[in-house]
Amino acid sequence: MIDKFLKTITNKPQKRPAELEACVKAIVMMKAATVLGDEFDLKGLKAVNPLRYPETIDSLKQYIKLLEAYDFIEILDETDKDNLICRFNKPFLRETLYQIVLFRD
């Protein structure tokens, strides 16, 4: 599923390097979210930020919106402007990614 996502975004000629970077960071953030459980929030995700550089809430929201657009997660509550509550659309996706994270570490 993630491989298909990556192939889709890399095969589109109109994608700019910044968009590809955002897609890759979104996947890294999704892997980090697996540690938080089926449901997670933006503040928790920021706390376990696996990216090298500190990310702003706005950039994290951008990654979340990207993952939602590709149907990996869904946003449950976005009433708080500094926090989003999300969950994985497919529990097997979260579990598989979590197992990969555990195996590789």
Residue-wise pLDDT for 28-67, tens only, equals 889 889 999 999 998 888 888 777 777 788 888 888 998 9
pLDDT mean across residues, the chain:
83
Picking from 105, 34, 100, 99, the residue whose alpha carbon sits closest to that of residue 67 is: 34
> Burial level of 45, CB count in 10 A (0-12/13-18/19+)?
buried
What whole-number percentage of the chain has pLDDT above 70? Answer: 84
Distance CA 22, CA 18 (A): 6
Is residue 19 pLDDT above 60, yes or no? yes
pLDDT of residue 59: 85
* The two structure tokens encoding residue 7: 């192939």
Please give the model's pTM, rounded to 2 decimal places: 0.78
**CA dihedral of 46, 50, 54, 59, whole degrees rounded to 10:** -60
pLDDT of residue 90: 87
- Residue by residue, DSSP assigns 40-101 as EEHHHHHHT--SSSPPPHHHHHHHHHHHHHTTSEEEEE--STT--EEEES-HHHHHHHHHHH
